[in-house]
Each structure stands twice: as structure tokens, then as C-alpha cells.
Chains A and B, each alone.
Chain A
Amino acid sequence: MENENQPVSKLYKEMMTRDLREVDLAEEKRLFIARHFEEAPAFVFRPELLVPAGAFAFCALLLMRVWPLSAPLPAAPEQTARVAAEQASAAAPAAEAVPAEDPMAHRVSVERVSSDTGIPVVFQKTIDNSPVTIIWVIPRTDIVQGG
């Protein structure tokens, strides 16, 4: 009896193996889940969002390195600077300007200067091979009295 059933059993096993392949099962599972369960809520830290965000942040920081915050701001009008320098030499006669090509002169740089009460003047003087930067404000009252 057992010997007679063996071919049938083998045939049945082969049939089951063919019909319930893993690929088909996976597809069945996916369809079943899609039919009976709601889609999971969107997760904000998805790779499709993170990758562009990371790339944008990287580009932004790269640009900040190329054009850092220390980039010099637009200079004051030339005429104002010249007039201020002339007045500075009158106020502090011992001060002398350092040539712009002096590499040490870049040790300190003034990126912005303003005043509510007078005219700010910036000059450098090299003392013992080291430049000293001086910001001097000439009060408006002195200019009116002098002029």
C-alpha cells in the first residue's frame, strides 16, 4: 500500500513545490498587505529627502569656505577715505601708513568701521617689524573748529 502511494505523494510534493514558489509567495504577501493594511505614514528621515538635504548643506558650507564671513566688505568711497587720511595725519602726525604690499600688514584687517560722532580713520604703522593697526575717530567738533 505504501509503495502504491509513493508516486502520488511524490507527484503531490512536486506540484506543491512548483505552485508555492517563494517569488509567488512574496508577491502574494505584498498584495495581501496592500489590500488589507493602510500605507505606513511618511517618515521625514527618508533617504530620498536626506540625500538632497545633505547635498544642499554640503554645497552651502563649501560656499561658506570659499567666501567666508571674513571676506572684506565694500570699501568706503575713495574720496572720503582720502580726506579722512589727510585729517588723520593732522591729528596724529607721527603715524605713517604701511605700504599695502607688506604681507605683515594683513595680520589685522579692518572689515568695517563707522561712527555716529566723527570720522573714523584706519592706519597702520610698522614698529619693530610688526604692524600695529590703529582706528582713530576724529570728533566732528574738532573738524568744524579746524575747518
Chain B
Amino acid sequence: MRGIRPETVWGTLFFMAVLTAHPGISPAQNVENVDLTFIVASNEGTANTVANPKYNEQLKKMFSYSSYVQSGEVKDTVEFNKPKTVAVPGDYELELTLKNCEEGRCIMRAVIRKGGKDYVDTIISLMKPGVFLLGGPRADMRDLIIVIEMGF
């Protein structure tokens, strides 16, 4: 039986080095923290129960509703290519999938579903830490706003 040639060893090492150097499959970037805040907005009354005071002011500057009621908060993690499903007020479900993370920028897919239909299906490229809002689903004749924070 012939021995393994040095070229074979170097070629294999080179191939492995190239594969492990690819940032998209680095194990250190497989999990990201995600904070979700569910807010029901309406023009009925002037109630404001959003727990995070930072959001209180920002929501008033962004929208023109008179009432913002926080209906839930979820702190969770999303894993690379593993869809994470979270129940959302109004019988919706939110599915988050981390697609890629490279140099502080993450690509994530967010889908809001109800009754087999995609209320919204989007792919976001986000520089950590970052925030974006998904809005519009109706919950008891009010508008639902989902604040998605990532990398905090």
C-alpha cells in the first residue's frame, strides 16, 4: 500500500481551511438574541401602557394613534436557518429565520401568518444592534405593531 503523498495532505488542509474560513457557517454566529414587543394601537382613548419609555415617545413621533397598549413581550433567540415561531396577539404567528450574519450585519426573514396566508413575508438586512417595526395586522379592530430588536 502506498503512503499518503504530501500534496494530498496539503490539498486537503487547504480545502478545509477554505471551507472553515467562510463566514456564513461560522458556529460563533449561529444564534442571535431577539426581543419582540407587541403593541396594539388605536384611536380609542389615550391609554399608554408600553413598558419601554423609549418606545412611548418614538411611537408618538412615528404614528398618529392616540392609544398604545403593550399586549406582550418575548425575549428569545433565533438560530441560523432554523425558523422560530412566536404566537402574536390576534391569532397571528410570527416566524423568524436567521439567514446569515457577517461583519455585524445579519439577514433575517420575518413572516407573519394567519389562516395559511402570509400577512407579510420580508427579508431584512440589519446592522446590529438594530430595530425594525412590522405593523398593520388587525387585532380586535385595532392595529398591531411588532417591534423587533436584534443584537442588543
A: residues with CB less than 8 A from B are 40, 43, 45-47, 50-51, 53-54, 57-58, 61, 64, 68-70, 73, 92-95, 106-118, 120, 125, 127-128, 132-139
Contact = CB atoms under 8 A, between A and B. Distances in A.
A125 B61 CA distance: 9
A117 B11 contact: no
B133 A69 contact: no
Contacts of A45: 8, 11-12
A136 B130 CA distance: 18
B2 to A, nearest CB: 6
Question: What is the interface of chain A mostly: helix, strand, loop, or mixed?
Answer: mixed
B18 interface: yes
Given A133-B131, A138-B136, 13 more contacts: A46-B8, A50-B11, A57-B15, A69-B100, A92-B62, A92-B64, A95-B62, A112-B123, A117-B117, A117-B119, A118-B136, A134-B133, A135-B122
Given A50-B11, A127-B61, A133 B133 contact: yes
B12 A135 contact: no
A55 B62 CA distance: 51
B105 A47 contact: no
Interface of B: 1-2, 5, 7-8, 11-12, 14-15, 18-19, 21-22, 24, 58, 61-64, 99-100, 102, 105, 107, 117-127, 130-138
Given A50-B8, A127-B61, A113 B102 contact: no
Nearest to A58: B18
21 contacts: A40-B1, A47-B7, A50-B7, A54-B14, A61-B21, A64-B24, A69-B107, A92-B64, A108-B132, A109-B124, A111-B107, A111-B123, A115-B120, A115-B121, A120-B120, A120-B122, A125-B61, A128-B58, A135-B122, A137-B135, A137-B136
B121 A133 contact: no
A111 B125 contact: yes
Contacts of B7: 47, 50-51
Contacts of A95: 62-63
Given A70-B125, A118-B136, A127 B117 contact: no
B126 A107 contact: yes
A68 B126 CA distance: 14
B120 A125 contact: no
A114 B122 contact: yes
A26 to B, nearest CB: 16
Given A53-B15, A118-B136, A69 B126 contact: no
Given A69-B99, A114-B118, A136-B136, A50 B15 contact: yes
B151 to A, nearest CB: 11
B67 to A, nearest CB: 14
